[in-house]
Structure 1
Amino acid sequence: MFGYIFILSLTLVFASIFLVDESYNENDKIKKIYLILNSIALVIFFGFRGPFTSDYINYKEYFELYKKISILDIVTTNVPQEKGYVLLNKIIQIFGGDFVTLQVIIGIIIIGLIFREIYKESSYVWLSVFLYVIARQYYASFNITRQVLASAIIFSGSKYLYERNFKKYLIFILIATFIHRSSIIMLPFYFILNMKNNKKLNLTILAGFILVFENIKKLLEIITKYYFKSYSASSFGMSGFNYKNIVLPVGILLFVMANRYLLKLEDDKKANIWVNSVIYFAFFNLLGTKIMMIERIGHFFLPYSILIIPLIIKKQENMAIKGLYLILIIFLGFGYNYFSLNNSGYDPYYFIFNSIN
């Protein structure tokens, strides 16, 4: 657990300048320096990790397989993974890179895209970075790399979601679909996330959740029959996951809805989208208690939670409550980091160098 505690603590060490003088939160130069420092640390921690997660070896074996396949074959024949991801493997190989090089490049892309949006949209960049590290997506990228990479690509196109520019947003969805096919689900959510969040919508979502929750296995049988044909009821991830995994998404949802009064959603389209995203982040994680694979869909909505929480903190005018919120987030963040990772498939962390005999 030391590695995870260290990397999370590092985000706060780098953030100390913001805590000393709040005006630095508006200083673009300092924000860039902070994000660059964290990017370097997080990319190294991601790119040079050892093979301790279940999918690491699978990804590495596929990387070796693609050495035997030409670019023409990748484009014209069926390959085990999405063609965009396979082509990325092949490009790294053409330039002489190995599997670790691929991981470093993917880390740069994911962190770069996420941090670019944090820089543009976050009220407190340091808090968004802290939340990003504890919110499971960063560590999930150690294992479900393609899913998280696809999520980062779509998140980077959020400008067009906010502007309701469907054609340009569609480009990001299509690119992401060539990394992970589940990205196609964001097509209808372009319209759904832009719906005005109010009591009527939230009740409709609740009713829809109950209906889907009770019939999820039947719905999944239909979906896997036509789209994800490689999955069956006996496949890995088709059973429910541990209930402790819903603590964070449900906790974020409750926090956002409890402080929703601070957000003038009728005048703030971005905040409206962020609130809706938090709801669907919890929605898909709760469904994951029945079918684990469905929880992965939540990663498309998760990044917006690291934007809405800092906005709520900023809009809280009561300094005592604001300070209390920050202390609780940091304290609970470290607690959740330990709770979710200790004795999990991610623990212990070790670098690739330590796994080489």
Structure 2
Amino acid sequence: MLPYILLLVLLISVVFVESFSLGRKAFWLPALFLIFFASIRSSSVGTDTVNYTYNFERSLNSMYYDFNNGMELGYQLLEYIILTCTDNYFWLFLISSIVVVLSYLITIKKLSINYFYSIFIFITFGFYTFFFNGLRQGLAMSICFLGLPYLLEKRIIPYFTVVFIASMFHISALIMIPIYLLVNARFRLEYKVIACFIISILASQVLIGYLAQGNKRYEHYTQEVDQAGGYITLLFYSLIGLVVYFSSKKNRSENIYFNKFEQIFLCGLALMFPIALLGTDPSGPQRILYYFTSMCIFLIPYILKKYN
């Protein structure tokens, strides 16, 4: 835990000092710190990391690389290209961290109303360290996050292109396609949230079963576990959602960016509630929650600004 705390203190100090002394948003120095920290970690850091470093630790010759139909092609190509050059998994971590960190920081710098708060939330809420555990989905999430400006500007072709690229690393990214259509539909927020909840009740179990059918990587998504649900995490973000909804009437009506961030966040929570109640392994479908909760990076600074 100590290295993470030291990294946090270092980063927020750099961001604060550069903002105070130079009047600008610190970007390259925080990015270098975050990339370096993620790249030098051991394969024992992260629940799924050992699976991603397996081919590197056994020094697999790229000539014998077996492309698996059950895994997204984009990640396999990345792994294959690295293996043709080296069997050191440091380079896998380095390239992945460059994509993840730059995608988040570029978008935060462009869209946040308070860069300092957003960087703090990005680190402390676990959005930065998510890809330490689920590398493929972490890559997909960061690429989708990079596409947020296209969603806000209603540029459908660039946005769908970005989501498609993200889905090449993890298929879950495709959930952001209906989110685009939902957010830009002209209905009240409350109707959208209720619709998401009902649709999730009707379709979530069937969809999870379909994903797991014939794909061993997703079979555990359907299995019940004794401590299932990730309820504490869901409750935490639900409380934030209530605060955002009941304290943001003015922002919702006057700020289109805030309006869309809020819709993504609340509709995502509505989609995830029925999945949590299924009692399935929280390491599976509920990881999708982080596509939506990352909007806290932008929403919370609005709330803090309101209350000064």
Shared fold per TM-score greater than 0.5: yes
- Aligned with 2:41: secondary structure? coil
User: TM-score if structure 1 supplies the norm length?
Assistant: 0.74
Report what 2:37 is aligned to. Answer: 45
Residues 236 and 218 (structure 1), Cα distance of their counterparts in 2 relative to 1, 3 Å cut: closer
- Aligned with 1:301: secondary structure? helix
Residues 168 and 20 (structure 1), Cα distance of their counterparts in 2 relative to 1, 3 Å cut: closer
Q: Is the 2:211–2:218 contact (alpha carbons within 8 Å) kept by the matching residues of 1?
A: no
Letter in 1 for 2:270: F
- Note if 1:134 corresponds to 2:124: yes
- Aligned with 1:310: secondary structure? helix
Residue 231 of structure 2: which of 243, 268, 271 is its match? 243
Question: What percent identity do the matched residue pairs reach?
Answer: 25
- Note if 1:175 corresponds to 2:165: yes
Q: Which stretch has the larger CA shift, 202-211 or 164-173? A: 202-211
Quote the offset at 1:156 in angstroms: 0.9
Quote the offset at 1:184 in angstroms: 1.6
Letter in 2 for 1:274: F
Quote the offset at 1:9 in angstroms: 2.3
Whole-Å separation in 1 of the counterparts to 2:97 and 2:170? 16
Residues 179 and 204 (structure 1), Cα distance of their counterparts in 2 relative to 1, 3 Å cut: closer
Residue 271 of structure 1: which of 236, 243, 258 is its match? 258
Quote the offset at 1:157 in angstroms: 1.5
Letter in 2 for 1:8: L
Specify every segment of 5 or more residues in structure 1 that has no aligned partner in the other structure, as ranges: 323-357
Report what 1:311 is aligned to. Answer: 302
Q: Is the 1:284–1:297 contact (alpha carbons within 8 Å) kept by the matching residues of 2?
A: no
Structure 1 runs, 4 residues or longer, greater than 6 Å off? none
Q: Is the 1:11–1:126 contact (alpha carbons within 8 Å) kept by the matching residues of 2?
A: no
- Note if 1:99 corresponds to 2:89: yes
Quote the offset at 1:92 in angstroms: 2.1
Report what 1:151 is aligned to. Answer: 141
Report what 1:297 is aligned to. Answer: 288
Quote the offset at 1:273 in angstroms: 1.4
- Note if 1:14 corresponds to 2:1: no
- Note if 1:280 corresponds to 2:267: yes
Report what 2:71 is aligned to. Answer: 81
Higher RCO structure (Cα 8 Å, ≥6 apart): 1
Quote the offset at 1:270 in angstroms: 2.0
Report what 1:261 is aligned to. Answer: 249
Residues 174 and 64 (structure 1), Cα distance of their counterparts in 2 relative to 1, 3 Å cut: farther
Specify every segment of 5 or more residues in structure 2 that has no aligned partner in the other structure, as ranges: none
Q: How many residues align?
A: 301
Whole-Å separation in 2 of the counterparts to 1:65 and 1:236? 31
* RMSD of aligned residue pairs (Cα, Å): 3.0
Residues 238 and 105 (structure 1), Cα distance of their counterparts in 2 relative to 1, 3 Å cut: farther
